[in-house]
């Protein structure tokens, strides 16, 4: 049975955030809010939780997981970014973008695209997510909470708790955070490629 945490969307309770972060450190798989829908998240290196995400979402090994980072300094530990791209990405964060880059050796092999050796990264613009990342002190491995056969991600914490109670360890509910997904920009090639148009303005990368 998943623990249920009701967190204020603008002034998240520090004690609750601390409890959720500690559960992640001890191996939990959680559902949590972001600035573009709810997501599934676990600690970097938690292989068991990673396989649970794959099972819940029925993902194959070509799926790009995302490292949800607190800030740009943290993001830079896990991906290779050249100077021109650095400025463009920094200007767009925090925000509703997912960026795909070649990964550094800090990223576990199982998170990488099997052929490209890339990984998705983002810096969210959501008070609760940022508070959790600050308390955890490391990125969250994340995947949009979009269930197989459904067109939109889940948006209500109570519904997530009700439907996924048997496969999650915790649900962090801070209210409806929408269904518009991030804009995905792939920087692994010679020129940026918009893989998905979403909440973030893609024009700065086109």
Closest Cα partner for 125 from 164, 166, 86, 183? Answer: 183
Per-residue pLDDT, averaged over 115-119, amounts to: 89
**SS3 of 91, please?**
helix
Q: How high is the pLDDT of residue 113?
A: 80
pLDDT higher than threshold 90 for residue 121: yes
The ranges assigned to domains in the chain are 3-205
pLDDT higher than threshold 90 for residue 110: no
Q: What is the mean pLDDT of the chain?
A: 92
8 A C-beta contact, residue 36 and residue 96: yes
pLDDT tier, 148 (very low <50, low <70, confident <90, very high otherwise): very high
Q: What φ, ψ does residue 120 adopt, rounded to 5°?
A: -85, 145
What does the alpha-carbon distance between residue 200 and residue 85 come to, in Å, rounded to a whole number?
Answer: 16
Per-residue pLDDT, averaged over 84-95, amounts to: 90
Q: How high is the pLDDT of residue 36?
A: 87
pLDDT higher than threshold 90 for residue 112: no
CATH top-level class for 3-205? alpha beta
Give tens-digit pLDDT for 10-42.
999 999 999 999 999 999 999 999 998 899 999
State pTM to two decimals. Answer: 0.93
Q: What φ, ψ does residue 121 adopt, rounded to 5°?
A: -135, 150
The number of CA neighbours under 13 Å toward the Cβ of 41 is: 27
pLDDT winner (highest mean) among 34-38, 110-114, 175-179: 34-38
8 A C-beta contact, residue 30 and residue 42: yes
pLDDT higher than threshold 90 for residue 84: no
Q: What does DSSP assign to residue 66?
A: E
What does the alpha-carbon distance between residue 174 and residue 47 come to, in Å, rounded to a whole number?
Answer: 27
Bridge-partner residues for 109, per DSSP?
Answer: none
Beta strand spans in 139-191 (E): 140-144, 170-173, 183-186
């Amino acid at each position: 049975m998943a623990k249920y945490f009701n967190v204020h969307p603008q002034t998240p309770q520090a004690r609750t955030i601390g409890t959720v972060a500690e559960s992640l450190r001890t191996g939990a798989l959680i559902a949590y809010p972001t600035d573009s829908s709810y997501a599934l998240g676990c600690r970097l290196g938690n292989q068991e939780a990673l396989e649970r995400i794959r099972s819940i979402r029925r993902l194959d090994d070509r799926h790009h997981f995302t490292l949800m980072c607190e800030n740009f300094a943290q993001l830079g530990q896990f991906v290779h970014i050249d100077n021109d791209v650095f400025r463009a990405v920094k200007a767009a964060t925090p925000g509703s973008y997912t960026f795909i880059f070649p990964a550094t050796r800090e990223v576990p092999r199982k998170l990488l695209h099997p052929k490209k050796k890339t990984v998705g990264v983002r810096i969210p613009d959501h008070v609760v997510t940022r508070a959790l990342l600050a308390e955890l002190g490391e990125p969250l491995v994340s995947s949009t909470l979009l269930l197989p056969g459904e067109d939109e991600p889940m948006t209500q914490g109570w519904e997530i708790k009700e439907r996924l109670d048997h496969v999650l360890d915790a649900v962090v509910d801070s209210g409806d955070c929408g269904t518009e997904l991030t804009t995905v920009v792939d920087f692994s090639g010679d020129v940026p490629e918009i893989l998905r148009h979403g909440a973030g303005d893609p024009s700065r990368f086109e």
